[in-house]
Structure 1
Amino acid sequence: MRKRFPPISDKLPVFMHGADYNPDQWQHDPHVLEEDIRLMKLAHCNVMSVAIFAWSALEPEEGRFDFGWLDRVLDRFAEEGIFAWLATPTGARPTWMSHQYPEVLRVGANRVRNLHGMRHNHCYSSPVYREKTAIMNAKLAERYAHHPAVVGWHISNELGGDCHCPYCQEAFRLWLQKKYGSLEALNLAWWTSFWSHTYTDWAQVESPAPHGERMVHGQNLDWKRFVTDQTIKFYMHELEPLRKVNPELPATANLMDLFEGLDYRKLAKVLDVVSWDAYPTWHQPPDELGQAVHFAFNHDLFRSLKHKPFMLMESTPSLTNWQAVSKLKKPGMHRLSSLQAVAHGSETVQYFQWRKSRGSSEKFHGAVVDHVGHEHTRVFRDVAELGETLEGLHEVLGTSTDAKVAIMFDWDNRWAVKDAQGPRNMGIHYENTVIQHYRAFWELGIPADIVGPEDDLTGYKLVAAPMLYLCTQETGEKLERFVRDGGMLASTYWSGIVDEHDLCHLGGFPGPLRKVLGIWAEEMDALYDGEQNGIVLQPSSAGVLPGLAEEYDSVQLCELVHAETAEVLGVYRDDFYAGRPALTVNKLGQGRAYYLATRAADPFYRDYYQALCREAGVEPLLPALPEGVSVQARSSETEEYLFVMNFNGTVRQVMLDQQTYRDVESGETLRGGSLELSAYGVRILARQVQGK
């Protein structure tokens, strides 16, 4: 799909560059605002996220509101051409509210109510908290929804967590009644006959608890789904008074790196634009490139949630203060990591934080303006230089990613896999497995979308679905249609095991995938850490998957499968199942479905997916990439913008093909030959879309 999207805000139709700004912390010193505005302009920053945790400053006592300080900030922004994502302050409630209305505080899974403190320590079901939120948001909307400096709403901050109070228990029961209709249906879906835990009254149903019920997997899964739905309901409750005043103003909620607690695919449906917070641990041995791959995957995931550009709402311009080792970015890494987000589809680069807090838990977290308070720092120079770069990339704004490969990653499946009590309870590593498959495409220079089972697969040539443990009948039918219509499916072990209720499929695994894959699975052998088996490729495989080695090691999981209609391409090397199928292919309709029965060790995946992409007609963006160099592309209908990124601390050379390229920053014309990338360097090249 090649198209150009409209800007996130018509008020600011450029790349947004800025940070979280907390002027409420500096009301005692009016000089700070004027100095900050001077520095924002020097740093080429055009947008700030304001008032994220400012409830105490906005409502210092119940019913007494103070907007004067925020008026001054936004009015000065408007005068200086700076804009704001205005936050609702619900991420942390004021102390007076916790003291006067303890019901707003969350109750843990142990059924103990929290004390006041931290963030997100509030109950989404609490009538008091909902009322206070509605009042606050209505006042913000009345005052600022049409303010010239406001480009959108930043709803709360990093939504997450659950509450087990009586309000939430009742809401959970109502949610279940709506879903199942009867206790009979619920008992069947949860298989409560196991251990004689059948429910005979709705009042008996509670959320999972460490000192109560926590072994009913269908119940655990439904609780996580309920928490997502309850969070979405609260988001919509926050949004309602804002929309009443100005329905045109976009709204977002900042998401987090591979966050497990909420189904982001569902949450993304109610966001106008997806935004997220990225905090890599750069320069970490032994696999320094692992961070580049992990965050590339995240960028592609968040772009794929709505299949359009997203926002990098938070990153650090220097270091964090909460990671195990809060390491500085080496020279070049700030530009590289920021442009990596842009390469994968971000329309913003924003930071936590603008000015370092003087006290409390994040006083040493990185910021554009350090405690020294001026612009004469390495970090400030890095930020200002990036701001100049973003100002020069206007032609890239709104462009799309044209991926022919999709990788399935699903929250329901993720939750179910990790709750399975199956072959490896010391770690089945679902997320790492998906990223291991993704890394092959990253190394090959092949863009990929990260999709869910409900997504449309039209337009993809290859779909990789590693460990699709929870697979519904509908998903199985969709993948079967995809293959029949000419698509290529790459599936793996531990797929098609349970349905949407976490009940095992009967009649042979991989359940709904059995026909499309042409195999059935009998047993799963789990290997201890340090134990290995291997895949030995059959001579006939060379005609199907040219370029693979004769043998690869495998670890952790080995599924014992029987080929039905599938052709065996590789067999196990060792143990009592040596010679049995380890890699198969099944022809169905116009397409093919591959099945990998064991967790292969590197370098298998790069070789494997390179062969599959050749067969599927998926071409890399550049013909060959050195180790640690990534290329990503954003496209309009006529031009393709290649971000060639070097994640190595030394110079690398990249060979270009014979197409004509234009360096977007320098204007230099390139045709073939070698492209030099400095340590942690980025080059942005434009070329005509083929056929245009």
Structure 2
Amino acid sequence: MLSIRKPKIWYGGDYNPDQWETGVWDEDLRLFKLAGIDVVTLNVFTWAKNQPDEETYDFQWLDEMMDKLHADGIGVCLATSTAVHPAWMARKYPDVLQVNFHGNKRKFGGRHNFCPNSPTYRTYAARMAEKLAERYKDHPALLMWHINNEYGGAGNCYCDNCEGAFRVWAQTRYGTLDELNRAWNTSFWGHTFYEWEDIVLPNELSEEWQGANGRTATNFQGISLDYIGFYSDSLLDCFKLECEAVRKHTPDIPVTTNLMGAFKKLDYHKWAKHMDVVSWDNYPRLDTPYSFTAMVHDLMRGLKDGQPFMLMEQTPSQQNWQPYNSLKRPGVMRLWSYQAVARGADTVLFFQLRRSVGACEKYHGAVIEHAGHEHTRVFRECSRLGAELGKLADQLLDTRVRAKAAILFDWENWWAVEMSSGPTIALNYMDEIHKVYDALFRSGVEVDMVGAEAELSGYDLLIAPVLYMVKQGMADRLEQYVEAGGTLITTFFSGIVDENDLVRTGGYPGELRKLLGLWVEEIDALLPSQRNRIVWKETPPGLKQVYGCGLLCDLVHSEGAIVKAVFGDDFYHGMPALTVNRFGEGEAWYLATSPEADFLQEWLPRLCSSLGIAPVIPGLPEGVETTLRSKDGQGYMFILNHNEDSITINLGGRLGTELLTGNRVPGGEMKLAGRDVWIVRLDSYEPVESKSGERREKGRYESI
């Protein structure tokens, strides 16, 4: 895989000169220089301009802009413009148009309005990518290929082309109809398929309907889950076609596409394998917990084993598509930009550089506002950040976050959990993941977000919340991890089904039963108004004896696991709520319910401490975020104050130099201004090695 060429952290963003008269271009370039912008993303939505009919390609405007940008020392992340097909294509080749969930064929309009299995779309999209690569392969401004834009941003397609492709996909996956019927459990309700042509797409005309909480409900989870996977693969195939087209002519130019963070529809672990660099678009609301944004940054970093990623889009001020589009308060844009850098970003890019004057994004923020000059609050803040990134130069490039705790996040498991026809509609996979992440974030413990195929041996602690779907080989890998000395935590509603969403019979948690030393007899779903209690049998020092819980409660029987806490109420009071099982040199914990946040915020840091997993800075005040990036034995500590007011922080003896000011940082107490950030080059840095391969002290977990 290629890495991006950069003498510093890239700074810039999406630029749409095609929306403006050429007289505006020179003024924009003047303002870019004032703001410190050195990279622009160009040509994102210009297919209609570049190809006005089937035979004509006109890149004159793009030639001129590429040359102007290069002359001003600005590099280009060149998009292939294929996110919206031209109107002539829809008129002449209606197979490019989608059929929606209700079975209605769409007309031309919107964006991402193409069928990914349309032969017409695939042919012309790949041809456009190749035309661009042929034309600009030697252009000195070209730094990166940006394929399409935010794949999956529209609804899925249910047309005949997709149905035919789904049958081929299913035949490739299962080989025979007998195996497909077994995997989809079609003996239920007499749904046996006799010929491949019997298979239809699951939508409102067949198996699915719009259920509660806006989720899709289905009669056959196996069919619907495979359709989600098939559609993710279909869009990925489109991406790969364009990648092949540009790599044919520019093998040394890296390729990416902008992902959308915790986006449910696409399996980004699978996509990342085909990207040279992961990039993503970060659009939190004013009230989004900053720990959630941090978690998604970590998720994007984890897609390619900790490799630095690109922050491809964020708004300089406000968004346009949320119900309430609040301004970013003074200092917040800068703070959130450095949050991305702290967690692995090697670029800070915006959508957009100049505000549009019409259509749905005319009120989306930009570096250059509608005022059209540099005398705005937003421009001043952008210029300050641009100057700082210039001052940092290459010091932070290619540094890595090296965590010893990890959270397992799996897209197929997410799909399956929330498409389950029970036991509760209130179960939200992302909420359970974030609740665990937030507890570690608040304590200052660094976390990697890893996929089901990740190498686990480097982690002392692995947390796998709601591991409902245990794919083939996963149980063995978890057993090997724990047996070698790792600590695993998993939770309620885990080990229930295999990769086809078929229940593992013989008692829950299925293949995890031996590892966890228990079996689950029943699962109780609590109403939103109902609560239960987690009661410690022997309360660990510093923790409360009783904590609230709800959502789901597993009725657990120990088969060797030590019971640490029990349920306090209902007919299963006194049954295990938290257990730990010694397995080889490690241990496996099971949390049989969804606890209140306080339980995780108080218990998890204590467990981490017992494993030798230390926070970057202990005893963090509320609203302060820390992380470490390092390379070649040099550590860089980030401290971010998300509070509006200044706060005093004890650095715990860490000495260094603050890079943005050049000031020396003593190891004691210091006051950090509200919404401010320190980046400290540490005088000494020793990465903590994993202890998961060492023999653990027997009985240690008895006191936790």
TM-score per shorter chain, which class? over 0.9
Counterpart residue number, 1:178: 172
* Cα RMSD (Å): 1.4
Contact 1:138 1:242 in 2 (8 A): yes
> Which residue matches 2:694?
none
- What is aligned with 2:415? 415
2:470–2:497 CA contact under 8 A, matched in 1: yes
Aligned to 1:296: 294
CA distance in structure 2 between the partners assigned to 1:690 and 1:269 by the alignment: 31
Give the superposition deviation at 1:473: 4.1
- 1:628-683: CA deviation from partner (whole Å, max 9, x where unpaired): 11101111131211111111111111111123222122222223221212111111
Distance 2:680 2:515 in 1: 41
Aligned to 1:665: 660
Alpha carbons 2:465, 2:489 under 8 Å: kept: yes
Whole-angstrom distance in 2 between the partners of 1:314 and 1:224: 26
Give the whole-Å Cα distance in 1 for the aligned partners of 2:572 and 2:472: 30
What is the aligned partner in structure 1 of residue 230 from structure 2? 226
CA positional deviation for 1:691: 7.6
Q: How many angstroms apart in 1 are the aligned matches of 2:204 and 2:672?
A: 53
Q: Which residue of 2 aligns with 1:431?
A: 430
Q: Supply the AA of the counterpart residue of 1:457.
A: L
Aligned partner of 1:595 in structure 2 is 590
- 2:686 is the counterpart of 1:690: yes
Deviation string 1:160-190 (CA, Å, 9 cap, x unpaired) is: 1432211111111111111111100000000
Distance across 2 between alignment mates of 1:674 and 1:659: 11
Structure 1 position 62, deviation (Å): 2.3
Contact 1:7 1:14 in 2 (8 A): no
2:274 matched to 1:280? no
Alpha-carbon distance between aligned partners in 2 of 1:525 and 1:207, rounded to the nearest angstrom? 33
Query: What is residue 287 of structure 1 aligned with on the other side?
Result: none
For residue 7 of structure 1, report the CA deviation from its aligned partner: 9.1
Distance 2:275 2:342 in 1: 22
Which whole-Å CA distance do the structure 2 matches of 1:109 and 1:207 have between them? 10
The 5 A counterparts of 1:336-375 are 336-375=335-374
Is this contact kept in 2: 1:472–1:512, CA < 8 A?
no
Structure 1 residues not aligned, in runs of 5+ = 1-5, 285-289
What is the alpha-carbon distance in structure 1 between the residues aligned to residue 597 and residue 237 of structure 2?
43
Query: 1:429 offset after TM fit, Å?
Result: 1.3
Paired residues of 2:316 and 2:366 also in contact (CA < 8 A): yes
Counterpart secondary structure, 2:550: strand
1:575 aligns with 2:579: no
| 1:259 and 2:263 matched | yes
Question: The residue matched to 1:120 in structure 2 has which SS?
Answer: coil
SS at structure 1 position matched to 2:615: coil
Q: In 2, are the aligned partners of 1:509 and 1:521 still within 8 Å (CA)? A: yes
Q: CA deviation at 1:495?
A: 0.2
CA-to-aligned-CA distance 1:8-27 (integer Å, 9 cap, x gap):
433x321000010011111x
Secondary structure of the structure 2 residue equivalent to 1:323: coil
Shift of 1:467: 0.2
CA shift in 2, pair 1:89/1:259, >3 Å: same
Aligned residue for 2:395, secondary structure, equals: helix
Alignment-derived partner of residue 521 in structure 2 = 522
CA shift for structure 1 position 588: 0.8
Aligned residues of 1:7 and 1:397 also touching (Cα < 8 A): no
How far apart are the structure 2 equivalents of 1:99 and 1:495?
50
Deviation of the 1:124 alpha carbon:
1.4
Separation of aligned partners in 1, 2:82 and 2:188: 42
Residue 657 of structure 1 aligns to a residue whose secondary structure is: coil
Alignment partners' CA distance in 2, 1:133 and 1:48 = 22
Task: Find the counterpart in structure 2 of residue 204 from structure 1.
Answer: 198
Alignment of 1:79-98 (within 5 A): 79-98=71-90
Is the counterpart of residue 250 in structure 1 residue 254 in structure 2?
A: yes
Q: Secondary structure at the match of 1:603?
A: helix
Q: Distance in 2 between matches of 1:691 and 1:357?
A: 47
Q: What are the equivalent positions in structure 2 for 1:530-549 lying under 5 Å apart?
A: 530-539=529-538, 542=540, 546-549=541-544
Q: Does the C-alpha gap of structure 1 residues 412 and 146 become closer, same or farther in structure 2, counting only changes over 3 Å?
A: same
* Matches of 1:612 and 1:271, distance apart in 2: 36
Displacement of 1:458: 1.6
Write the deviation string for residues 366-404 of structure 1: whole angstroms up to 9, x where unpaired.
001011110110000111111111122221111001010
What is the deviation of 1:607?
1.1
Q: Distance in 1 between matches of 2:27 and 2:544?
A: 62
Instruction: Give runs of aligned pairs for residues 92-241 of structure 1, distance below 5 A.
Output: 92-160=84-152, 161-214=155-208, 215-241=219-245
Once residues 565 and 433 of structure 2 are traced to their aligned partners in structure 1, the CA distance between those partners, rounded to angstroms, is 22
Deviation sequence 1:503-561 (CA, Å, 0-9, x none): 0011111111111111110111111113211111012x53xxx4322111111111110
Cα pair 1:154 1:252 within 8 Å, conserved: yes
Q: 1:517 to 1:366 in 2, by over 3 A?
A: same
Q: Kindly indicate whether the alpha-carbon contact (under 8 Å) linking 2:492 and 2:593 is maintained by their aligned counterparts in 1.
A: yes
SS of the equivalent of 1:392 reads helix
Identity score, percent: 45
Structure 2: segments with no counterpart, 5+ residues: 209-218, 689-704
- TM-score normalised according to structure 2 size: 0.94
The answer to which of 84-93 and 129-138 deviates more is 129-138
Match of 1:616 among 605, 611, 614: 611
Seen in structure 2, the aligned counterparts of structure 1 residues 124 and 450 have a Cα distance that, compared at 3 Å, is same
- The answer to whether the 8 A contact 2:258-2:281 is kept is yes
Quick one: which amino acid aligns to residue 666 of structure 2?
A: R
SS at 1:659's partner residue? coil
Q: Which residue of 1 aligns with 2:318?
A: 319
**1:483–1:589: 8 Å Cα contact kept in structure 2?**
yes
Q: Is the 8 A contact 2:261 2:300 kept in 1?
A: no
Deviating beyond 4 angstroms after TM superposition, the runs of 4 or more aligned structure 1 residues are none
- Corresponding residue number in structure 2 for 1:401: 401
SS class of match (1:374): coil
Instruction: Give distance in 2, aligned partners of 1:582 and 1:634.
Output: 37
Paired residue total: 673
What SS is found at the alignment partner of 2:178? helix
Q: Secondary structure at the match of 2:378?
A: helix
State the Cα deviation string for residues 41-98 of structure 1 (Å, max 9, x = none). Answer: 1000000000100011111222122111101100011111001111011101111111
Supply the distance in 1 between the matched residues of 2:138 and 2:324 (Cα, whole angstroms). Answer: 43
Instruction: Measure, in 2, the Cα distance between the counterparts of 1:353 and 1:422.
Output: 43
Amino acid at match of 2:479: E
Question: Which residue identity lines up with residue 258 of structure 1 in the other structure?
Answer: A
Residue in structure 2 matched with residue 468 of structure 1 by the alignment: 467
Scaled by the length of structure 1, the TM-score of the pair is 0.96
In the other structure, the counterpart of 1:653 is 648
Please give the secondary structure, in 1, of the residue aligned with 2:53.
coil
Q: State the match for 1:447 in structure 2.
A: 446
Which residue identity lines up with residue 476 of structure 1 in the other structure? A
The aligned amino acid for 1:177 is: Q
